[in-house]
């Protein structure tokens, strides 16, 4: 057996040693859920096609900014925080989309 394992800290007080986990041992284990079993026994045979929409990413972003501004009563700092972007980025987007 090869020694390519590593110790992984899972919690403050618990270490797990993966040194002795062999690929064959893991492969032979029974799936833990029906979904996992289905994935193992019935692999996908066709690709999933992406859904096409008539809304562009820019339109979606613009609408999201508008709705968030409304929800924050026009407060740009709160809007930026809720969107997870900087105030500077929000100001740039407002100008870019003509929302001033």
35 domain-assigned = yes
- Whether the full predicted model's pTM is greater than 0.75, yes or no, is no
21/2 Cα distance (integer angstroms): 10
48 domain-assigned = no
Q: Give the structural domain span for 27.
A: 7-41
From first to last of the 100 residues of the chain, give the pLDDT tens digit.
Answer: 445 555 555 555 555 555 554 555 445 555 565 565 555 555 555 666 666 667 788 999 999 999 999 999 999 999 999 999 999 999 999 999 999 8
Asked whether 22 and 38 are in contact (CB, 8 A), the reply is: no
71 domain-assigned = yes
CA separation, residue 71 to residues 36, 68, 77, 98 (Å):
41, 5, 12, 19
75/71 Cα distance (integer angstroms): 9
The number of distinct structural domains making up the chain is 2
For position 86, which CATH number holds? 1.10.10
């Amino acid at each position: 057996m090869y020694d390519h394992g590593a110790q992984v800290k899972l919690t403050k007080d618990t270490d797990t040693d993966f040194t002795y986990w062999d690929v064959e041992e893991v492969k032979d284990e029974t799936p833990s859920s029906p979904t996992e079993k289905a994935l193992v026994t019935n692999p996908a045979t066709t690709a999933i096609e992406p859904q096409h929409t008539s809304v562009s990413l820019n339109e979606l972003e613009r609408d999201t900014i508008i709705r968030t501004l409304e929800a924050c009563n026009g407060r740009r700092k709160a809007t930026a925080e809720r969107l997870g972007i900087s105030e500077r980025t929000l100001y740039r987007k407002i100008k870019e989309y003509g929302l001033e």
